[in-house]
Amino acid sequence: MGSARLAVAAFWRKAFEDNLTGLASMVAYNLLLSIFPVALVALFFAGRVLSSPEVQASVLLDLQQIFPTAAESTLSEAVRRLQESSTTTGIVAIVAAVWFASSFWGALDTAFCQIYHRPCRSWVQQKLFALGMFAVVLLFIVASVAVPTLQGLLVTSAEDLPFGLSEVRGLIYAITLAAGVVILFGALCATYLLVPSGSIPWGCVWPGALAATLAMAIVDYGFPLYLQNVTTLRAGTTFVFVLIALVWFYALAMILLAGAVVNELRFERLRDRNPRARRYFRRWSADDDPAQLLEPENQWSTPWGGAEHGPCEKCGGDGTAHYRCCSCLERGAKPDCPACGGRVEFDDVCPSCEGDGTIDRTRRRGVGVFPSAEGLYRYLAEREAGADDCVLELEGELTGDRDLDADAGAVLVRPTRIVAVHRFDRERLRAIDR
């Protein structure tokens, strides 16, 4: 129960920090734009097969069942225009579909950059990448539309469904529905594997894809309510349908990004088990270039305000200090924590005087960092941070030296990669103070 609570808290915190709702709005908008050109392509090909009077009459009847408030003359005019669609219309629709699909992948790449804390592709790279992923977006769109449609058939159990679907029963329903879910899962796996910049292990792909697939299947049960209650929505059928569609796309985008959050949290756990790829956090000035920390001559730590040698005030001269790991105090004890090993609070050799009661070595090998952002904020809660400060996220290797503030959970590392620079969250700092 405790582990589940911590997992939910970690998910909630990361979703809030990454502004998941705002990112979902951006992705949903571009996903919606991707749908319409694909629909134009489908309508163009539909117009090619509407040359038969029998087929035309059947389609008109089915359209009247789906849009009961539309006049027969209106539907007939729509079918007539489809029949007159030229090849140029089809080509324009295909070009528009490719362009807007590339915009969708660009928006998704931008959102994943925020969630995975990785650099974004350039505009040209996003467009080239989107061309390669066009097949995936088609699979995703088809599955996203097919799954709720098939679920609607199961939910409503209608006896007179459009386009002859009322003749399909039982096992075929189940097989078709399962195939749609499998296609959706495959499209999500490809998305979580290929969209984030850099390599992603399979163990950090399928959990989010599976969770997103199940969530989408559950949410999609609400969409067939339109078909189920179509006769009761005559006063505003078009408005209600548009409203449901907008909410549905936003929900899909939220689930898609939530799956990415799940995968990134798992990726963070894997990195924590690999000391060479573990991530750390430290305060940093927004005016300085973080790349300088990758230079060996800058990988040394000294006290704030300059070195002070003499009697140790931290331990009072007895050589022992009380350790309280800020990271584990905030997020719970972690057995693999590089600062405390999961002990959280304990007594050990004073990190400042190294046990002899006198401070005589203040220059230590490595850059002072914290194993978590939560630990860094807790550490800074009793200290004033400059207005130009930010939080630097980096990967590094432990140097084996002891940080002067090791009793608070700080460690010394040799930075190997700058991951991201985050804005300093003063609200978070004040929440810890309270």
The pTM of this model reads 0.55
For the chain, the average pLDDT equals 75
Cα–Cα distance for residue pair 97/132, rounded to 1 Å: 14
* Residue 27 CB partners (closer than 8 Å, separation 6+): 104, 107, 108, 111, 253, 256, 257
Which one, of 340, 334, 344, 326, lies nearest residue 381 by Cα?
326
Instruction: List pLDDT tens digits, range 248-296.
Output: 788 889 999 999 999 988 887 776 666 566 889 999 888 888 889 988 8
Predicted local distance difference test score (pLDDT) of residue 275? 59
Q: Which long-range contacts (CB under 8 A, 24 or more apart) does 360-364 make?
A: 360/309, 362/302, 362/303, 362/307, 362/308, 362/309, 362/404, 363/300, 363/301, 363/302, 363/307, 364/300, 364/301, 364/302, 364/401, 364/402, 364/403, 364/404, 364/412
Q: Where are the domains of the chain?
A: 2-273, 276-433
Three-state DSSP state, 14? helix
Residues 22 and 250 sit within 8 Å (Cβ to Cβ): no
- What is the mean pLDDT of the segment spanning 370-376? 90
> Amino acid letter at 114?
Q
Cα–Cα distance for residue pair 428/331, rounded to 1 Å: 14
Whether pLDDT at 86 is above 60 = no
Whether pLDDT at 29 is above 70 = yes
* Residue 338 CB partners (closer than 8 Å, separation 6+): 275, 278, 371, 398, 411
Which DSSP letter does residue 291 get? G
20, burial (CB in 10 Å: exposed 0-12, middle 13-18, buried 19+):
buried
Q: Which two tokens stand for residue 124?
A: 């040209």
Pairing assessment for the beta strands 367-369 and 364-365 based on DSSP bridges? unpaired
Cα–Cα distance for residue pair 199/210, rounded to 1 Å: 19
Most confident range (mean pLDDT) of 165-169, 171-175, 270-274, 334-338 is 334-338
> Amino acid letter at 414?
R
Comparing 49-53, 133-137, 217-221, which segment has the lowest mean pLDDT?
49-53
Hey, how many other C-beta atoms are within 10 angstroms of the C-beta on 81? 12
Residues comprising the chain, all counted: 434
What confidence category does residue 228 fall into, taking pLDDT thresholds of 50, 70 and 90?
low
Instruction: List pLDDT tens digits, range 315-354.
Output: 888 889 999 999 999 888 888 788 998 899 999 999 989 8
- Residue written as tokens 């939080």? 391
Residues 284 and 307 sit within 8 Å (Cβ to Cβ): no
